[in-house]
Structures are given as C-alpha cells and as structure tokens.
Amino acid sequence: MSEEGEPSLAPGTVVADRYVVEQLLGSGGLAEVYQVRHAELGSAHALKVLTWRRKNLVERLRLEGRIQAQLNHPNIVRVTDVVRLDGQVALLLELIDGVSLDLFLEDRGALPLSQALDLFAPILAAIDYAHEAGVLHRDLKPANVLLARAPGGWIPKVADFGLAKLLEDSAGSGTRTGVSMGTPGYMAPEQVRNSADVDTRTDIFALGCVLFEMLTGRRAYEPTEDSGGQVEITATIERSPPRITELVPDLPEAIADAVAQALIRDRLARSPDCRTFARALGLAEHPSLEALPGATVVPLISDPPPEPNRTFVEDPVPPQAPQAPQAPQAPQAPQAPQAPQAPQAPQAPQAPQ
C-alpha cells in the first residue's frame, strides 16, 4: 500500500508488458495480491507483490518461485511466472475462486468429522508431495489453505510455500523467534526455539493445529488480544493443547489420539510424516492420497448444489411428462377386440362349477 493507503498498483497498470492489473484482491503487512489478466491470452491470474524492500529479497523470492513452480500437484496453488516490478519481484499464481480455510471456519465453526477429514486429506496429500520433493512449508495455517469452488464442492489448495523461510533468511537472524519465521499458535516448539532447526515433523505439528481447529472450532493455542503472539509462543513451549475430546466429546478416541500424536512437543515422539498421520486418522485409502491425476472434490455438506446441477437434473423431467399424454394411446387397446380371446373371459364362470 502507498502512504495514503491506496493500492500500489492502480487498475490498468501493465506489469512485465503482458499482465494488466484489474483489482486488488487483498493485502497484508508483507504483500499485496492483485487480479491481473494476460494482455494477449486473456487468462486471469493472481499477482503477489512483496512490499518489503530488502537487499537479497528479490533473488530469494525468485528462487522460491522456481521451487513452487515445480510443485505440480492438484492441491497446491501453482506459481506460473516470476516478473520484475520496479526493482522488486512478483509471483504470478493461479487465480483461485473460493475462500480461505480460516474464513470458512470463522463462518461455520467446528466441522462434522467426515467433512473435516475430507477437507484435510487433500491438504495432507499436498504436504506429503512437497516433503517428497524436499520442500518444507514452515507456515501452515488455515489462512494459507484456499478452498477453490468446484461443481458440488471444494478443492483445497495449499498456498505460500517457502515464504516463511525466505523471510527468515532475509532477516539475517536464523535463531531469533518471531512472526517472520512462522505464525504464533501454529509453530512447533523447535521452530520457536530455532527457526533453522526444522524438518518434516515441524510441518506435522502445524497440520495438527489446523485439524484441531477444524474439529473443535477453536485454536489449539488461543491467541490473546494485543499479545503480539508471545502468549501462543510461550504456551507452545510450555504446555500441550487440550485433548480434542475434552472440547468435542463425541469424537472417536482414535482421532483424538492421532491429533495428540501430531501435537507432541517432543518431535522425536511426534508423527514423523504425513503418511503416518494419515494412517492414524484412517485416511490411508482416501482418494486424495492415492496419487490420482486430478483433484478430489470435497462435497458440500449444508450448502445447496450449484445452479447448473439443478438445471441438469430438471432438464430430463419435462420430456418425460409429455410421454404421459401418450397414455391416451391406450385407447389403441380397443384393438384388443381383434383378439376373440376376450370372449374367453366368460369361461371364468366355469370357476363356479
């Protein structure tokens, strides 16, 4: 944002000679995201522009852009281009028509177990794929999961890979705790103590926090107003969150065990990887985790089906109705007179004999 609070890029601005800015989609302390359209192809994209101006940020973000561009998975937001912009660098991302998981949960609260697991399985699949590619997310949270609208449901997509690592490196302090190395309330204890000392189990802890929130409607480590995240950071190091069955008693104990295993503060005892976590949740055979070529659509639970679906169902009905009038053809039955067999009916009286 400019000093006047206006978007840095006005509608109509042409970026990299080919992307035309249409509107600001959102902004935060670190970046602005715009909807842009390719001038020649007409395709829509999201343009993410970092607002920090640090000496080595440009090259680091270009590197992270290359890494994420190689993460070709249906549940990961794709990076399609990296462009220069006034000495800065910007990422072109696939444009998602949907809502972030944090806003989804804010609106609905705790989700039914089946819906929560169906949404969570694709997230697990995305992170498992990234880990296999040697990439750690480091900032997993509901705000970094987008739910893309699809006919009849949602497709979860994980966003912002590598951003936390990038900011950590640019800050010049590999061991200092703070928001730049993750988000308080979702960071594992080892990440809080030393942001460079992280591995796949660090992401597992964050995934446990995300699922905890989906199942209970509250955070594993509740924030305190004006705490600056320090309360959550201290709590992460000093105590474990409550068992989810203390908050939602009717949840299966096996699910509570799996979440608790992901949230163990000692990472040596924590679930080591996404596949182990999935098995503990009973998701090992879920379609999202079977390396299918396309994304699995998670059905809507309480929302009505999209209009096109209702229209599709109604279309076949009218043709059938006219067929009913064909019933009058039944009068053709009078042709039955040709069958003298009808008179045989009188033989029925023989029954009395």
Contact 204, 273 (CB under 8 A): yes
Q: Give pLDDT, residue 55.
A: 60
Q: Give the distance from CA 345 to its chain's centroid.
A: 71
Same domain? 255 vs 210: yes
216 and 277 share a domain? yes
Considering the domain architecture, whether residues 30 and 116 belong to the same structural domain is answered as: no
**Mean local confidence (pLDDT), 117-130:** 96
- Residue 49 CB contacts under 8 Å (≥ 6 apart), including other chains: 8, 9, 31, 32, 33, 34, 85, 88, 90
**168 class by beta-carbon count within 10 Å (0-12 exposed, 13-18 middle, 19+ buried):** buried
Residues 125 and 90 in one domain: no
Determine the pLDDT at residue 182: 80
Q: For the residues 212-229, what does the mean pLDDT come to?
A: 82
CB-count burial class (<10 Å; 0-12, 13-18, 19+) for 182: buried
Percent of the chain predicted with pLDDT > 90? 48
- Buried (b) or exposed (e) across 312-347, using 16+ Cβ within 10 A? eeeeeeeeeeeeeeeeeeeeeeeeeeeeeeeeeeee
Number of helices and strands in the chain (H, E): 13, 10
Residue bearing tokens 């597992």 = 204
Structural domain for 108, as ranges: 98-299
Looking at the fold, whether 237 and 109 belong to one and the same domain comes out as yes
Average pLDDT, the chain: 79
Task: Please write the tens of the pLDDT for every residue from 172-186.
Answer: 433 333 334 688 889
pLDDT at 163: 56
Tens of pLDDT, residues 233-277: 777 777 889 999 999 999 999 999 999 999 999 999 999 999 999
Name the amino acid, one letter, at 212. F
> Among the three residues 47, 79, 94, which one is the final residue of a domain in this structure?
94
Question: How many structural domains compose the chain?
Answer: 2
For residues 78 and 70, the answer to whether their CB atoms sit within 8 Å is no
Of 162, 144, 25, 163, the closest CA to residue 75 belongs to 144
Same domain, 51 and 109: no
pLDDT band for position 51 (50/70/90)? confident
Residue range 29-33: mean pLDDT, rounded: 80
Average pLDDT over residues 113-119: 97
Active-site residues: which are they? 139
- H or E, element range at 237: helix 230-238
Express as a percent the part of the chain with pLDDT over 70.
70
Domain boundary among 64, 94, 124: 94
Do 134 and 258 reside in the same domain of the chain?
yes
pLDDT one-digit tens code per residue, 283-331: 988 888 875 445 667 765 544 333 332 222 222 233 334 444 444 444 4
Task: Specify whether 67 is located in the same domain as 116.
Answer: no
Q: What is the spatial distance between Cα 200 and Cα 121, in angstroms, rounded to a whole number?
A: 17
Nearest C-alpha neighbor of 283 from the set 273, 295, 274: 274
Dihedral angle of Cα 251, 255, 257, 258, to the nearest 10 degrees: -150
Residue range 57-82: mean pLDDT, rounded: 83
Q: Do residues 134 and 23 share a domain? A: no
| Domain membership flag for residue 111 | yes
